[in-house]
Amino acid sequence: MSGIALVRKPGPRIAEGIVTHIEREPVDYERAVHQHDAYVAALAAAGWRPVHVEPADHLPDAPFVEDAVVVSGRLAVLTRPGAPERRPEVESVEQSVRDLGLKAVRIARPGTLDGGDVLQVGQTVYVGRSGRTNDEGVAQLAALLPERRIVPVDLRGVLHLKSAVTALPDGTLIGDPARVDLPDLLEPPEEPGAHVVPLGGDRVLLAASAPRTAALLERRGLVVTTVDISEFERLEGCVTCLSVLVPA
């Protein structure tokens, strides 16, 4: 599998990004830029052509581009983020997906939906009910994706659904059973191990902060690429947050 990887460079105000479930820590902007470059390079090496969304240096959380759009086939669902200060991020993402030839539709008021709450596994779409995504947002997404099975998921103590659970290439869910009630979860040895980006075939992307999970996945026959995203982890970010993969 290959295609487009939508990404957005971090701006100098990144340290002001929202934190909800963790204590605020200092964020090194220059190091974040270097880490983001390495992250994008890892996607490119796996066959995903990076497309950079227009910079938004005045919006601290803008590099977490996943939250602004959900892509299903050739449909781009532009979200309405639950944090009002993040809603201006969506406009430039809309332009990028239209430039890619995708059909763009929107989540409308009073619905709220963050892309980080949407986990697509085959024909099933798990959607987290979180502080950022409400029931109306879930219902609107279901109406926009009538061919998919929508499964709402309640969360405990995490920002987004994909902060707690993601999926391996074979569809196995990997995550923290203390945060979500989903059956047959593969429990990772460390918290960042719940955040996996399938890159196509047997390849996956994982944070460098989850070395024991990397070893576990390699024992399962997967080819693991790790990237250091420690500056983004200080802002509750993970490897899924920093890109939107659009298969060719």
Q: Active-site positions?
A: 160, 241
Cα distances (angstroms) measured from residue 231 to each of 18, 29, 99, 175, 242: 13, 8, 30, 22, 12
Give the separation between CA 17 and CA 217, rounded to whole angstroms: 31
| CB of 243 closer than 8 Å to CB of 7 | yes
* 111 contacts: CB under 8 Å, gap ≥ 6: 80, 134, 136, 137, 139, 140
- Strand blocks (E) in the chain: 3-7, 48-52, 69-72, 75-78, 103-106, 118-121, 124-129, 149-154, 165-167, 173-175, 197-200, 203-207, 223-227, 244-247
Read off φ and ψ for residue 103, nearest 5 degrees: -80, 125
- CA-based R_g, the chain, Å: 16
Closest to 49 (Cα-Cα) out of 2, 84, 91: 2
Give the separation between CA 221 and CA 207, rounded to whole angstroms: 18
* 84 contacts: CB under 8 Å, gap ≥ 6: none
Cα distances (angstroms) measured from residue 44 to each of 4, 7, 50, 232: 9, 11, 6, 20
